[in-house]
Amino acid sequence: MSEVASAVASEVKETFHVVGKSVPRRDGIGHVTGKTVYVDDISFPGMLHLKMVRSPIHHGIIRNVDFSEAEKVPGFVRVLTHRDVPKNLYTILCLIGVGPDEEPVLAVDRVLYKGEPIAAIVAETEEAAMEAVSRVRLDLEELPAVFDVEEALKPDAPILKPWGTNYFIYEGHPCRRVRFGDVEKGFAQADYIIEEVYNTSPIEHAPTETTACVAKPEPDGRYTVYTNTQALFFTMDNTALILQVPFSKLHFVGGTVGGGFGGKVDVIVEPIATLAAMKTGRPVKFKYTREEEMRVSSTRSAWRMYFKDGVMKDGRIIARKVISYADSGAYNRHTPYVITKHAANVAGPYFIPNVYIDVYCVYTNRQPASAMRGFGVTPASFAVECQMDKIAETIGMDPWEIRFINAYRNGDMRPHQKVVEDATLIEVMKAAAELAGHPLPEHLLKMHSWDRERA
Amino acid sequence: MAVQEYFLPQSLEQALDLLAEHAPALLVMAGGTIAMPLINEGISMPEKVMGLRRAGLDTVRRENSTLVVGATTTLTQLAHQTDIPMLQEAVRHIGGWQIRNMGTVGGNLFAPPPAGDLAVALLALDATVVLASKQRGQRALPLTEFFTGFMATALAPDELVTALHIPLPRGKMSYIKYGRRHANTPAIVTVAAHVVVEAGKVVDAHLALNAVGPHPIRARRAEQVLRGAPLNAATIAEAAREAAAECEPFTDAIATDWYRRRMTEVFVRRALERIMG
Amino acid sequence: MASRIVTFNLNGRDVEVMVKPLTTLQTVLREHLRLTATKSGCRQGGCGSCTVLVNGEPVLSCLLPVEDVAGQTVVTLEGITPVEGLHPIQQAFFDNYAIQCGYCSPGMIMVIKALLDRNPNPTRQEVMDAIAGNVCRCTGYESILRAAEDAARRLQTV
């Protein structure tokens, strides 16, 4: 064990009560007996069920929606359309100042992705709701769709957003930008220029428990919403804004989530179920089927990342230029924030004196992308570490050494103007090498995160 | 309309009567592993459904050199017979334990590719399918003639699959299902081979493929290459190339058509190499 | 759409339910009888979270019309949970942290119960084969395998 690791281990052993010890899970008994109450286990007398009428096409204009046959289904209670939603346009991140609002709770006159909700049907049973949905007649005019980030940015691409571009606008710019040093000067000085493009696919979180909530009117005029959201107050606040009611009207109960991984931070089922409870005066359950969870719920965005690095013969990376595109799908959800995290991390945990980063949040006709473990950092790490190996291979250096040389140290300035204060990369790499049984040469073992620290 | 009637006949006779009365509006299922997911999701909304779990079609018996398997024999039940090890091997690769406890031999004939991991073995074994209707009685059809297209079979609307007759194999068998995971996985390609070698030459060869066509298929041209030839590396390589050329792979969430074709060559070769020993 | 009365033995007691045609065992357990340990993860036979034992065999209650189990014996997680304390398999899951979100746990425990009833001392491969139809998305498979092995030891020393 390395000296740092053993020092930490002995301190943990002596002074900590929880860290380093196994603590029985508080919710474990409920889980192994099946007594834990998940949202779908909740039901109330008179509870109604909500199902969505969804777009069967990727992009189109809604000419007409005919509910007359659906209304005849036994058990049909009512339909909700965009006209019923007090503030139909929203964007989840409005709570942290992101705008403008751009996603309709229920589509108005256009659909931008296959599966986009057009109307909600509330019925006495889930089967009746499903059947009524199947009887709704949609008259849609199909429009050309775009599924690739770079295609979406071409001049002849179908424009999806009312502001006239297929990208999110960051303070007047088409992308989130990071500028540090002079990247062109760096390339001019470099011994090697190393370029590559990295792609990642969208990933569905696929939690075992699908997204669900139950909204229940209370005698005091409030609404209790039982939900498996991962973001309870975020969801409550957005619901209040969409429904134009004071936050105090809503009581959100959550905390038990049957798997989330970031897939349950969107505000999707709660506003419409609560609205249905308001309009009917009865408890309403809205639970995604597995098909909806896979096809409609948001995914990790697909990424395309172009890297250009200037590298010296001694292994130092002196310039890095990255142009990244995230496929946000049809709407924002959390992607504008995902982009920012990506921009802050795509230079990697390495000190590079000249950095130029442009990250685009691009709209396409895919199902919306959103948060997933690590936000935009995971694809960034994938690309950065592939690139580090490519650099090592190109200049003929050991892949460990290239990382030790470039790893940032305490006191280094990161490209987005944050001073590194708590670097541990070198120590972690030493511990990892030890665990993997990979002997490191003496000159690397002598390195520390504090060996460049400024006084 | 929600489901109005669920029939659970207690005999084949009852089942055929119900089918004669209600076909074609009657959805027939056995284990429910294909029909019920569609009904639960609202993709299929039948008014009338018939379940065959109680119809007494779940027996397995030997008749001379033929294994007679009732259509609603579960995959787990089939795994208990030991006459044809390839069937045990095929069953082992289908779904998880629960699916094998529910899914049936007859039902697997209706599982669209890339499912149908048992049907491909039955095809290699040259099985015969027995069909019955109230009006016309029984008829037997080689399994090769049973499949007519993607999710299409020779089954008439008033007919049920009642049994499969599987001749005990004379030669050596090999079954390989290649998927993205080791278990409970859709196939990229499945290969089932039954080859008879006498005096150093292949006298009969049945090579069946799944997940590379609209239904489980026989690789006829590859079989032609094998017949009459010595089973050696050169023959096997040529047969594998032929199989890859003649199959009709498709692209889905599991694999591309290009990859399926490449893997068909690889896994036909491996299946035949196992037989060569 | 005539409803029918179906009788079966559930967790040692005979129960009688009145159901519409093609009602699944899962719906009967969860919505009619309010026994919600049996989960509803996909209703497509893909996740295993609704696994119960019918005549001792693990099956997916989401794909099983309740009329098909008339007169038969059904055991759910509620049926193996003692009044006080835990079943050895439950205890092994708890002690080995074979639970995270808990949504797959009821199905996992029922399958492992069926396995250990047949094979008291399974190999790791046999446990893996048994739970192949049960999806855990928090990826606690390793701890679930450990729990199954631990449960086998506990049951042998009971």
Residues C59 and C119 in one domain: no
Residue at which a domain ends, from C55, C76, C97 = C76
Sign of CA dihedral C61, C65, C68, C73: positive
Q: Which residues on A lie below 8 Å from C102 (Cβ)?
A: 27, 30-32, 36, 258
Residues B154 and B96 in one domain: yes
Length of chain A: 455
Q: Render pLDDT for B89-122 as a digit per residue (tens, 0 to 9).
A: 999 999 999 999 999 999 999 999 999 999 999 9
Q: Which residues on B lie below 8 Å from A203 (Cβ)?
A: none
The whole-angstrom separation of Cα B74 and Cα B166 is: 16
CATH number reported for the structural domain that contains residue C38 in this entry: 3.10.20.30
CATH architecture of A176-203+299-445: 2-Layer Sandwich (3.30)
CATH number reported for the structural domain that contains residue B196 in this entry: 3.30.390.50
User: What subunits make at least 3 CB pairs under 8 angstroms with A?
Assistant: B, C
Residue at which a domain ends, from B167, B200, B225 = B167
Residues B145 and B229 in one domain: no
Half-sphere exposure of A129 (CA within 13 A, CB side): 27
- Using only C-alpha atoms, chain A has a radius of gyration, in whole angstroms, of 26
**Cβ atoms A259, C137 nearer than 8 A:** yes
Q: Which residues on A lie below 8 Å from B42 (Cβ)?
A: 127, 130-131, 133-134, 289
Q: Render pLDDT for A123-178 as a digit per residue (tens, 0 to 9).
A: 999 999 999 999 999 999 999 999 999 999 999 999 999 999 999 999 999 999 99
Contacts of B102 (CB under 8 A, 6+ apart): B31, B32, B33, B74, C45, C59, C60, C63, C64
Whole-number percent of chain C with pLDDT over 90: 96
Residues C93 and C72 in one domain: no
Q: How many CB atoms neighbour CB A15 within 10 A?
A: 9
Q: Which of A131, A289, A290 is facing B2, going by the closest CB pair?
A: A131
**Cβ atoms A53, A138 nearer than 8 A:** yes
Residue at which a domain ends, from C76, C103, C124 = C76
Phi, psi angles (nearest 5°) of residue A111:
-120, 140
The whole-angstrom separation of Cα C29 and Cα C40 is: 11
Interface contact flag, B99 C111, Cβ < 8 Å = no
Of C7, B80, C36, whose CA–CA distance to A30 is shortest?
C36
Average pLDDT of span C76-81: 98
Residues C72 and C92 in one domain: no
Residues B64 and B163 in one domain: yes
Cβ neighbourhood burial of A395 (10 Å; 0-12, 13-18, 19+): middle
Residue at which a domain ends, from C44, C76, C108 = C76
Percentages helix, strand, coil for chain A, rounded to the nearest 5? 30, 25, 45
User: What local confidence, expressed as pLDDT, does residue C155 receive?
Assistant: 96
Whole-number percent of chain B with pLDDT over 70: 100
B interface test, pick of A69, A76, A124, A291 with most B CB neighbours within 10 Å: A291
Q: Which residues on A lie below 8 Å from B180 (Cβ)?
A: none
Opening angle at CA A67, ends A66 and A71, nearest 5: 155
Question: Could you give the number of structural domains in chain B?
Answer: 3
- Using only C-alpha atoms, chain C has a radius of gyration, in whole angstroms, of 16
The nearest CA of chain A is from the CA of B37 a distance in Å of 10
Write out the H or E segment, with its range, that includes residue B47.
none
User: What local confidence, expressed as pLDDT, does residue B84 receive?
Assistant: 97
> In this model, does residue B244 exceed pLDDT 60?
yes
Residues C12 and C64 in one domain: yes
Cα dihedral angle (B69, B70, B72, B74), rounded to 10 degrees?
-30
Average pLDDT of span A195-212: 97
Residue A455 — pLDDT band, cuts 50, 70, 90? very low
**Cα-to-chain-centroid distance, residue B86:** 12
Cβ neighbourhood burial of A224 (10 Å; 0-12, 13-18, 19+): middle
Domain enclosing residue B99, as ranges: 60-167
Residues B195 and B145 in one domain: no
Contacts of B243 (CB under 8 A, 6+ apart): B207, B209, B219, B221, B222, B264, B265, B268
Q: What is the pTM of this model?
A: 0.95
Residue B191 — pLDDT band, cuts 50, 70, 90? very high
Domain positions in chain A:
3-36, 176-203+299-445
Residue A16 — pLDDT band, cuts 50, 70, 90? confident
Residues B109 and B203 in one domain: no
The whole-angstrom separation of Cα B45 and Cα B42 is: 6
A378: contact with C, CB 8 A cutoff: no
Residue A13 — pLDDT band, cuts 50, 70, 90? confident
Residue B34 — pLDDT band, cuts 50, 70, 90? very high
> In this model, does residue A312 exceed pLDDT 70?
yes
**Cβ atoms C52, C76 nearer than 8 A:** yes
- At B236, list the tokens: 């096997």
Nearest CA in chain B to C44: B37
> In this model, does residue C93 exceed pLDDT 60?
yes
The nearest CA of chain B is from the CA of C3 a distance in Å of 9
Q: Which of C1, C45, C131 is facing B99, going by the closest CB pair?
A: C45
Question: Could you give the number of structural domains in chain C?
Answer: 2
Residues B138 and B178 in one domain: no
Residues C8 and C72 in one domain: yes
Domain enclosing residue C50, as ranges: 4-76
**Cβ atoms B83, B67 nearer than 8 A:** yes
Residues C52 and C92 in one domain: no
Of A409, A406, A421, A430, whose CA–CA distance to A347 is shortest?
A406
The whole-angstrom separation of Cα C60 and Cα C47 is: 9
Phi, psi angles (nearest 5°) of residue B160:
-120, 150
A173: contact with C, CB 8 A cutoff: no
Q: Render pLDDT for A407-444 as a digit per residue (tens, 0 to 9).
A: 999 999 999 999 999 999 999 999 999 999 999 999 99
CATH number reported for the structural domain that contains residue C112 in this entry: 1.10.150.120
